[in-house]
Structure 1
Amino acid sequence: MTVIHIHIPPFPSFIKMGEATLSIGKKHFKRTFHIFDLIYVTEGVVYISENGFKYEIRCGEYLILAPGFEHFGFKGCEVESKYFWIHFNVEGEYYLKKTKEINWGNIKIKEGDFISPHHFLLQIPQFGKITQTKFVENIFMNMLDEGVTTSPDFPLRQQIYFQELMIQLQKEAMTIPSATESVTDKTLQFIQMHYKEDIKMEDIAGELHFHTDYITRCMQKTIGVSPIHYLNQYRIAQAKKLLTSTNDKVMVISKSVGIQDHTYFSKLFKKIEGVSPSEFRQFSQRDS
């Protein structure tokens, strides 16, 4: 399938949206856009050709027309057909590419910290079918309602709804087998129960009876991080609770969350949180 890859930040920008109806025999007009055009059909079938490919967009399906390619209706509608349309722009880097599988391991490309944001590579199929139709159509209706109001903040609200729509399209595209999710759930449960211990990948593999590489692949597909990465994040999350709720020394807290080397603990804490454990405690006490 052809997938639109979009580097974020920045997030794509909403421009304009609306609702249209094509009566029997009518077809979409011919044009070439310099922006993206998303079409979501709610009734009937809309027939559109782009760059030599013909699409029959049925109820509950969408098509994202890419900039620079001529598109047109190659066939008149056989029944009255209705659809929402959204024009949006991508100011950052994007490209179209054939992709077989989409999962969180491919999408989350860089962890953020206290001074820089997370970086993602959205991978949304150019043509797809929606399973959560009521949820998606509700987003469209909210955007449409906001668009007819006179409130000065409605363009901002439309952008927020648009971002929610794009995230939902990304979720709809995920190809994560239930067996993969099951392995991930069991791994998370094991880590949360034994994080105070000296856990190694071999311990997790022994508990789940799967190879370490397979467990890692399952985790990366499902939540975008490896078991060890998640273990570190979970330990630091528990340490933050102890730093704000107790007067224990950093060395004691380090051991309490399963890290015997308090120097390594401090380095790991700062890498994840952007500040040292002591600084975090001071900030927390000052805020409270």
Structure 2
Amino acid sequence: MSYIEFFAPPFPTLIKGGYAIFEKGNKHFRRVFNVFDLIYVKEGELFLTEDEQAYSIRKGQYIMLVPGFEHYGHKGCKVKTEYIWFHFLIPTEYDLTESGLENWADMKVTEGDYVKPSLYRFCLPTYGEIENQVYIENLFEGLMDIDEQTPDFHLRQQLLFQEFLLHLQKEACNIPTAAEKVVEQTIAYIQSAYKEEMKMDDLAKAIHFHPDYITRCMQKIIGMTPNLYLNKHRMNVAKKLLATTESKISYISQEVGIVDTTYFSKLFKRLEGLSPLEYRKVIHRRRGRE
């Protein structure tokens, strides 16, 4: 297995990311990039060749394509395939090695002092499977759903991308934390039951942890309470319905588990900065310019 070895800080810099779909029979085009291209398959299977090495990237797997190497789809997708991609660069020197980090403690290379920061060594697999897929997909969703209208949009993207790289290094060293496991269970439960009325006691009984502990884990790992995550997930579903259907606001409110349409509209505006109708108009205007 190949690894990308680099030292931080400075951390790799995210350039741009997005979501794409290949229909059955489609394949990736041939090209050579001068930046890294990270591809994570959310559904289906992607067939890619890089530097004459063929890969099959299935659901929950990723590949990091290296600058200067030609890559292309050597075979069409067998099924409809959804994937998330990110282009990024490493601002310092990096190496491709055949061995990674075995011990988490080996990550720190030098201890910082009053004028210099600590230096850390990363060795990330160029190809592999994400263990905590729910957590990572939630991180990606948050990374791409940050409101582009806010001045700190790109800065917040960088922080979330760094969080992803750190998590990837943790998985490579096989050190999932207890808190991350709790967060994974919490997110999975919320995403499966968001259409229902949900209280902390319901969540606690479902995953068998105390409500206060669940809240602490969520705040530590993803920086939000279970209730805030529930509301954000509901709004993300609502945004997709607003963008892809002409359904009434009252219907969408019911679909995301909020009975009171007025409360839904107020919550949507508080979290998204626009009312549901304003959001729909903005999306329609953008599509009209495309």
1:90–1:101 CA distance, 2 compared to 1 (3 A)? closer
- How much is the aligned-residue C-alpha RMSD, in angstroms? 1.5
The whole-number CA distance in structure 1 between the counterparts of 2:40 and 2:111 is 33
Q: CA-to-partner distance for each residue in 1:103-133, whole Å, 9 max, x for gaps?
A: 2243211111222111011010000111110
Q: CA-to-partner distance for each residue in 1:22-80, whole Å, 9 max, x for gaps?
A: 00000011100000000000000001100111110010111000000000001100000
Aligned residue for 1:122, secondary structure, equals strand
Query: How far apart are 1:100 and its partner, in Å?
Result: 5.8
Aligned to 2:115: 115
The whole-number CA distance in structure 2 between the counterparts of 1:21 and 1:41 is 10
The whole-number CA distance in structure 2 between the counterparts of 1:48 and 1:95 is 22
Aligned to 1:282: none
Aligned residue for 1:115, secondary structure, equals coil
Structure-to-structure mapping, 1:236-255, within 5 angstroms: none
The whole-number CA distance in structure 2 between the counterparts of 1:11 and 1:53 is 28
Aligned residue for 1:160, secondary structure, equals helix
Which residue identity does 2:168 align to in structure 1? L
Aligned to 2:152: 153
TM-score, normalised to structure 1, is 0.59
Is the contact made by 2:2 and 2:97 (CA closer than 8 Å) also made in structure 1?
Answer: yes
Aligned to 1:223: none
Unaligned residue ranges in structure 1 (runs of 5+): 177-288
Q: CA-to-partner distance for each residue in 1:81-114, whole Å, 9 max, x for gaps?
A: 0000000011111110101653224321111122
Aligned residue for 2:148, secondary structure, equals coil
Aligned residue for 1:137, secondary structure, equals helix
Which residue identity does 1:22 align to in structure 2? F
Q: CA-to-partner distance for each residue in 1:125-163, whole Å, 9 max, x for gaps?
A: 0001111101100111011111x5311210011001100
Residue 11 in structure 1 maps to residue 29 in structure 2: no
Which residue identity does 2:84 align to in structure 1? F
Aligned to 1:220: none
Which residue identity does 1:154 align to in structure 2? F
Aligned to 2:106: 106
Aligned residues: percent identity?
45
Residue 165 in structure 1 maps to residue 164 in structure 2: yes
1:111–1:100 CA distance, 2 compared to 1 (3 A)? closer
Q: How many residues align?
A: 176
Aligned residue for 1:27, secondary structure, equals coil
Structure-to-structure mapping, 1:126-137, within 5 angstroms: 126-137=126-137
Residue 67 in structure 1 maps to residue 67 in structure 2: yes
Is the contact made by 1:43 and 1:59 (CA closer than 8 Å) also made in structure 2?
Answer: yes
Which residue identity does 2:141 align to in structure 1? M
Deviating 4+ runs (over 4 angstroms): none
Query: How far apart are 1:175 and its partner, in Å?
Result: 4.4
Structure-to-structure mapping, 1:167-246, within 5 angstroms: 167-175=166-174
The whole-number CA distance in structure 2 between the counterparts of 1:158 and 1:100 is 27
Aligned to 1:79: 79
Is the contact made by 2:101 and 2:123 (CA closer than 8 Å) also made in structure 1?
Answer: no
Is the contact made by 1:35 and 1:89 (CA closer than 8 Å) also made in structure 2?
Answer: yes
Residue 47 in structure 1 maps to residue 77 in structure 2: no
Aligned residue for 2:163, secondary structure, equals helix
Aligned residue for 2:134, secondary structure, equals helix
Which residue identity does 2:149 align to in structure 1? T
Is the contact made by 2:100 and 2:124 (CA closer than 8 Å) also made in structure 1?
Answer: no
Q: Which structure has the greater CA radius of gyration?
A: 1
Aligned residue for 2:82, secondary structure, equals strand
Q: CA-to-partner distance for each residue in 1:232-261, whole Å, 9 max, x for gaps?
A: xxxxxxxxxxxxxxxxxxxxxxxxxxxxxx
Aligned to 2:211: none
Which residue identity does 1:27 align to in structure 2? K
Is the contact made by 2:46 and 2:57 (CA closer than 8 Å) also made in structure 1?
Answer: yes
Aligned residue for 1:155, secondary structure, equals helix
